Amino acid sequence: MRAVRVHGPGDLRVDDIPDPVPGEGEVAIAVEWGGICGSDISYYRHGRSGTAQLRDPLVLGHEFAGRVAALGPGTTGIEVGTPVTVHPALPVGDEPLPARLAGRTNLYPRVRYSGSAAFHPHTDGGFSQLTTVQAHQLRPLPEGVGTREGALAEPLAVAMHAVNRAGGVAGRDATVNGAGPIGSLVVAALKHAGAARVTVADLNDASLAIARAMGADDTRNIADGQSLPADAELVFEASGAPGALGGVLASTARGGTLVQVGNLPGTEAPAALGDLVTREITWIGSYRFVDEIDDALAALATGLDLTPLMTHAFGLDDAEAAMCTAADPASGSSKVMLRFT
């Protein structure tokens, strides 16, 4: 089979590798669609993502969907041909979470994630014609949800988890800083959850246009001198840019809530944080998701439209062009999709 593998910084190849064989309790999936994420871009550009350093060739991809192709020994309850997506997290070990973290499996101390170099051997992802996962990681697609949309259940789940971290949002105004794919999905998740007016800020007009198509009521281009709304009670920081934190905190109302969903760098970075104290802001981190992938699929089944987000699609042979497009702010891209069939 053919797979999109990163061998080092700037070294992305479509390799021929052996077909995987599902083991006990596993399922093989014929992948049809995948979505390129920021971590995929980071592995391609830098040979690492956060603290995870590439040591061997890695099959990228944790946003993907396809159809069940084969069942491993002892696997029951799923039929070959079923369209599915995958919950890409697999906790390592059986150590129980402390009572205060009950149910928050995204905070398990050791988690293998599809397409990640955090462990060695690395955990290959789903950017391949065939991939194997544990059967319990499967999420069958609801009637009417295709594999193209189903591939984006994972990032939509990330956005929904961020919205859930804020508490009830129905009827409330919200600000989203950053209109990349996650920021625009946060917009969609907020509106789906009943938020009233959602304002989005970014430096890029193309990204802001996508945020509007995803439901934003107002957009602000900071590069043009526009500013974030003042005294915002509920703010989602989705850019992950340390330089933006000072302005975002200053725009958050006294006693307001700031949800950090943009992935901040694991290295030291200067930021003006004084307003966190003087405004008594509640600053909440949001990491991946728990079971919100099920909520994401339910939302897609009831008509949540992610079409505006999917700006580009490339075939498997053009995987590097797809990665370059996703990494280029001037390309006008949001979610770049890879087609495997």
Mean pLDDT along residues 145-174:
98
17 and 79, same domain (yes or no): yes
Confidence band, pLDDT 50/70/90 cuts, at residue 94: confident
195 and 102, same domain (yes or no): no
For residue 301, tell me if it sits in a domain.
no
* 303 contacts: CB under 8 Å, gap ≥ 6: none
Confidence band, pLDDT 50/70/90 cuts, at residue 294: very high
Residue 266 has pLDDT above 80, yes or no: no
For residue 296, tell me if it sits in a domain.
no
Beta-strand relationship, 89-91 and 58-59: unpaired
pLDDT cut 70: percent of the chain above it: 100
pLDDT of residue 226: 96
CATH of residue 240: 3.40.50.720
Residue 262 has pLDDT above 80, yes or no: yes
Per-residue pLDDT of 50-86, as tens digits, reads 889 999 999 999 999 999 999 999 999 999 999 999 9
Residue 267 has pLDDT above 90, yes or no: no
Q: How far apart are CA 150 and CA 297, in angstroms?
A: 7
Under DSSP, the state recorded for 228 is P
Q: How far apart are CA 220 and CA 230, in angstroms?
A: 12
186 and 146, same domain (yes or no): no
Cα dist from 17 to 2, 102, 124, 189, 338, whole Å: 6, 40, 12, 38, 18
| Tokens, residue 141 | 């697609």
Domain span holding position 169: 156-285
CATH of residue 53: 3.90.180.10
Confidence band, pLDDT 50/70/90 cuts, at residue 270: confident
92 and 224, same domain (yes or no): no
For residue 121, whether the previous peptide bond is cis, meaning omega lies within 30 degrees of 0, is: yes
Q: How many domains does the chain have?
A: 2
Q: What is the pTM of this model?
A: 0.97
- Mean pLDDT over the full length of the chain: 97
Cα dist from 169 to 11, 47, 165, whole Å: 43, 38, 10
pLDDT of residue 265: 82
Query: Is the alpha carbon torsion for 57, 116, 156, 326 positive or negative?
Result: negative
Structural contact between residues 213 and 219, judged by C-beta atoms closer than 8 angstroms: no
